Amino acid sequence: MKLVSQVLITHHIEETIAELEALKTTERLVKIVKEDSFLVEDAKLAIEKAYIASEEPTIIILGAKLFPPVVQNKLLKIIEEPPAKTEFILITPSKSTILSTIRSRLPMKVLSRTEEENPLDLDIEQLSLGNVYGFIQSHQRTDAKEMKNLVQQISKAALHSDRYELDEKTLMLFSNAYIALDMGSPSSFVLTTLLLKLLARKKR
């Protein structure tokens, strides 16, 4: 592991940051870490921190379970053209939610496999109104924390499939679902909205 611009994929965000801190010599480390979703306000703060003059190299570490597309687009310009001696390290659990524009500018390294998950009891390849309805019914009582895991599993399955329109609009479906759960929206409503919108993005 090095203190250079990159995307690190791991569920162990805090532990990874500790490992990066152990590599510090003369660098100035700036950490902005969120428990769930990285916000536009956090991206603005990161940009402000990047432009603070420093004689030492500056390493800006951004960590969150989710970087919504609007946040990644906000960070894109400074990642493309960072101030002198400034490096950006993004840490997040899922590489499938990282936009191609960011991937093309930052190397990506998978540090650990995701925790073992229960198999997703939904055939994303053959998504239909029928199996969507049954899946929603089986998760009427699923809490927000577990629903976030389901959203992540659904997003991985959909993004690894070739059955859906893979564009920024599709990525927004998953980040919006995650944000809605953070804001306290009913889990069953979030799941219903996500799957029906995903179904509409299925290739004909």
Quote the CATH superfamily of domain 6-110: P-loop containing nucleotide triphosphate hydrolases (3.40.50.300)
* Model pLDDT, residue 113: 52
- Low pLDDT (below 50) residues in the chain: 114-116
What is the spatial distance between Cα 85 and Cα 56, in angstroms, rounded to a whole number? Answer: 8
The pLDDT value recorded for residue 173 is 81
| 34 in Cβ contact with 63 (< 8 Å) | yes
- pLDDT tens digits, 19-65: 999 999 999 999 999 988 899 999 999 999 999 988 899 999 999 98
- Domain ranges, ordered by start, for the chain: 6-110, 124-200
What HEC string does the chain produce? CCCCCEEEECCCHHHHHHHHHHCCCCCEEEEEECCCECCHHHHHHHHHHHCCCCCCCEEEEEECCECCHHHHHHHHHHHHCCCCCEEEEEEECCHHHCCHHHHCCCCEEECCCCCCCCCCCCCHHHCCHHHHHHHHHHCCCCCHHHHHHHHHHHHHHHHHCCCECCCHHHHHHHHHHHHHHHCCCCHHHHHHHHHHHHHHCECC
Compute how many other C-beta atoms are within 10 angstroms of the C-beta atom of residue 58.
Answer: 22
Q: What is the pLDDT of residue 60?
A: 96
Compute the residue count for the chain: 204
Contact 7, 109 (CB under 8 A): yes
